[in-house]
Amino acid sequence: MTTPSPTPAGPDPHPGFGPDLARRCYREMLTARRIDEEAIALQRQGVFPAYVSLRGQEAAQVAGAAALDAERDFAFPTYREMGVALALGVDMVGYMASHRALWHGGLYDPMASRFSSLNAVVGGPVPHAVGWAVGERLRGGTGCAMAYFGDGASSEGDIHEAMNFAAVYRAPVVFFCQNNRWALSVPNERQVAGGSVAARAQGYGMPGTAVDGNDAAAVHRATAQALERARAGQGPSLIEALTYRVEPHSTSDDTSRYRDAEEERAWRDRDPLTLLRARMEADGSGDAAFFEQAEQEARKRAEAVRDGVSTAPEPDGTDLFAHVFREPTEELARQQRVWYEEVRP
């Protein structure tokens, strides 16, 4: 059984994580939690065919994304980075459209939000992030790429090739692994040789940092430092945010078949929202009135997202063919003709 590490005692190790940033992260983490709850309910009601929860990973996503510069950086997500999307100001109805299977990749503007299309290929966003980062460097820009992946994806060849390429070309990219302890039903110890994703960075000549992924301040500091290093031309870094996937891998998964209930309870006690709230209450950056207002705002926004995605119109079926190739192939044209004859009313 994997058990959570204790929170370090003593002086605040992250003095740069001030009251304003703490309040922003708490609001966005709480909003992500409430949207996540609404999304699970929508799947149970048959509105979403499936859904992947981020519960327990809000600090890793929101606090890390808070270090990004939304004017010049670019995030490359998997299918679970809803908290990152929220932190970057992505239209959440457009984001959730993918979970309702209205659109592959999301009905939002990636260029405006600096948040790439959702990528369900395991490890898929990482080579894309490196390619963008190399291009940014070649054009003389100062933006950085954030490449998201999980502990399971860290075993994919795409990840290793991307890290090596990024290190050779000193690409301004941060490899951000959310190690939530489970690659679907496979625990870390059975699929991560050596037990550490961060330790692999040394083999590519880049720094690797393991950080408490449930500690918003720790995540933000590690991410800010990695971005500063990349922006200074010193190349890529790897961050391993050690967290936990509280909910099943997806709504079609059953954790009782492979996980210990005691382990789940232990990690629920280290809920990132609870930890951040305790920190804010201790240092005076949040009082009862703040937390009550944050709860009301989060619920209101989550309900608006729920209602918006539930009532969003289905796209025209011709979109299946309009966004595949710049110059349609004969086979695609044939499929379109069949669709017109057999499917289109």
| Same domain as 294, residue 342 | no
Question: Is position 247 within any domain?
Answer: yes
| Same domain as 256, residue 176 | yes
Rounded mean pLDDT, 327-344: 88
Question: Is position 9 within any domain?
Answer: no
Helix (H, G, I), strand (E, B) or coil at 155: helix
Q: Count of CB atoms within 10 A of residue 108's CB?
A: 23
* Single-letter code of the amino acid located at 65: A
pLDDT band at residue 318 using 50, 70 and 90 as cut-offs: confident
Q: What percent of the chain has pLDDT over 90?
A: 78
* C-alpha span between 42 and 237 (Å, rounded): 38
Query: Could you identify the residue written with the tokens 């789940």?
Result: 264
Percentage helix, strand, coil for the chain under 3-state DSSP, each rounded to 5: 50, 10, 40
Give me the pLDDT at residue 9, please: 39
Tell me the residue range of the domain where 340 lies. 315-345
| Same domain as 341, residue 270 | no
Question: Is position 4 within any domain?
Answer: no
Question: Is position 268 within any domain?
Answer: yes
Rounded mean pLDDT, 211-222: 97
Assess contact for 75 and 114: CB atoms under 8 A: yes
| Same domain as 339, residue 211 | no
| Same domain as 340, residue 309 | no
Q: Which residues pair with 237 in a beta bridge?
A: 174
| Same domain as 341, residue 299 | no
Q: How many C-alpha atoms does 17 have within 13 Å on its Cβ side?
A: 28
Task: Give the chain's domain count.
Answer: 2
* C-alpha span between 140 and 310 (Å, rounded): 43
What CATH number is attached to the domain comprising 80? 3.40.50.970
Assess contact for 145 and 173: CB atoms under 8 A: yes
Question: Is position 70 within any domain?
Answer: yes
| Same domain as 174, residue 309 | yes
328 pLDDT more than 60: yes
Question: Is position 3 within any domain?
Answer: no
Tell me the pLDDT tens digit for each residue of 88-112: 999 999 999 999 988 776 789 999 9
Question: Is position 1 within any domain?
Answer: no
Give me the pLDDT at residue 97, please: 93
* Single-letter code of the amino acid located at 79: Y
* C-alpha span between 46 and 201 (Å, rounded): 42
* C-alpha span between 184 and 155 (Å, rounded): 13
87 pLDDT more than 60: yes
Closest to 146 (Cα-Cα) out of 109, 101, 177: 177
Rounded mean pLDDT, 258-279: 93
| Same domain as 199, residue 119 | yes
| Same domain as 292, residue 334 | no
126 pLDDT more than 60: yes
* C-alpha span between 279 and 160 (Å, rounded): 37
User: Could you give the residue numbers annotated as active site?
Assistant: 245, 249, 258
| Same domain as 343, residue 306 | no
| Same domain as 326, residue 303 | no
61 pLDDT more than 90: yes
Rounded mean pLDDT, 240-267: 92
Pinpoint the alpha helices (H) of the chain.
Answer: 19-44, 58-65, 82-87, 92-96, 110-113, 125-138, 157-168, 216-231, 261-268, 272-283, 288-311, 319-322, 330-342
136 pLDDT more than 90: yes
Q: Which of 195 and 87 is assigned the larger pLDDT?
A: 87
pLDDT band at residue 13 using 50, 70 and 90 as cut-offs: low
Per DSSP bridges, beta strands 186-187 and 182-183 are antiparallel
pLDDT band at residue 6 using 50, 70 and 90 as cut-offs: very low
| Same domain as 168, residue 147 | yes
Closest to 216 (Cα-Cα) out of 9, 73, 21, 79: 21
Question: Is position 7 within any domain?
Answer: no
* C-alpha span between 322 and 332 (Å, rounded): 10
Edge-to-edge strand ranges of the sheet holding 74-76: 74-76, 145-150, 173-179, 237-242, 208-212
